Amino acid sequence: MTDVYRYGFAGQRMDLLRGVFGLALTLGPLFAVDAILPWIAVILAVLAAFFAIFLIKIWIRHRTEIRVSQDGIEQRGPFGGKTIAWGDVSGLRVAYFASAKSRDGIVTLTLSGQGRKIVVESSLSEFDRAMERIVRICDRADVEMDATTVHNLAALGLRKGAEPGAGSSGG
């Protein structure tokens, strides 16, 4: 069975609003004001480029899907993709990044193997379900996990009785 997960715009709504607002604030004066100083125009154009790149990254993320099957994990995007078979996974890392503005932070799950990395962020639809399945598969395969990952998985309720620094024992 293959589960397919996507990054929807709902999870990126605030980033999308920030990008559009920033682009409007930087491009607006460039087109609205006739007599603008050249150095100010350059600064506004550079800032507009940053916001445009930010919006392109949001679009790429929206077009990316994560496929989890019994054979492996695949990340597909508009410009290609990458696959790691479960037998080739050599590391699992789960990191939590706190947000100063809300109590919800960002959780990232990184799988590595065969010189490739697949990073899955918590803005993915059904992230909890996907992470639970991935962790269960990695536990069975005795995939290496660092102490931070073990701690974060325990905090998320996905590891019980795990000792920090242990591989995947106790899961």
Question: What does the pLDDT look like over 87-126, one tens digit per residue?
Answer: 999 999 999 888 766 667 789 999 999 999 999 998 888 9
Q: How many structural domains is the chain composed of? A: 2
Q: Is the pLDDT of residue 163 over 60?
A: no
Query: What values do phi and psi take at 121, rounded to 5?
Result: -100, 160
28's tokens: 């607006």
pLDDT at residue number 10 = 75
60's tokens: 């790429």
Range of the structural domain that residue 56 is part of: 8-62
Q: Is residue 1 part of a domain?
A: no
Question: Are residues 36 and 95 located together in one domain of the fold?
Answer: no
Question: Are residues 52 and 72 located together in one domain of the fold?
Answer: no
pLDDT in tens, 33-73: 878 888 999 999 999 999 999 999 999 999 999 999 999 99
Question: Are residues 128 and 84 located together in one domain of the fold?
Answer: yes
3-6 β-sheet, strand order? 3-6, 65-68, 72-77, 80-85
Question: Are residues 76 and 117 located together in one domain of the fold?
Answer: yes
Sort 14 into a burial class: Cβ within 10 Å, 0-12 / 13-18 / 19+.
exposed
Give this prediction's pTM: 0.77
pLDDT at residue number 101 = 65
Question: Are residues 142 and 118 located together in one domain of the fold?
Answer: yes
Question: Are residues 95 and 142 located together in one domain of the fold?
Answer: yes
Question: Are residues 44 and 20 located together in one domain of the fold?
Answer: yes
Q: Is residue 98 part of a domain?
A: yes
What is the crossing angle of helices 38-62 and 13-32, to 10°?
150
Q: Is residue 2 part of a domain?
A: no
DSSP 78: T
pLDDT band at 166 (very low <50, low <70, confident <90, very high): very low
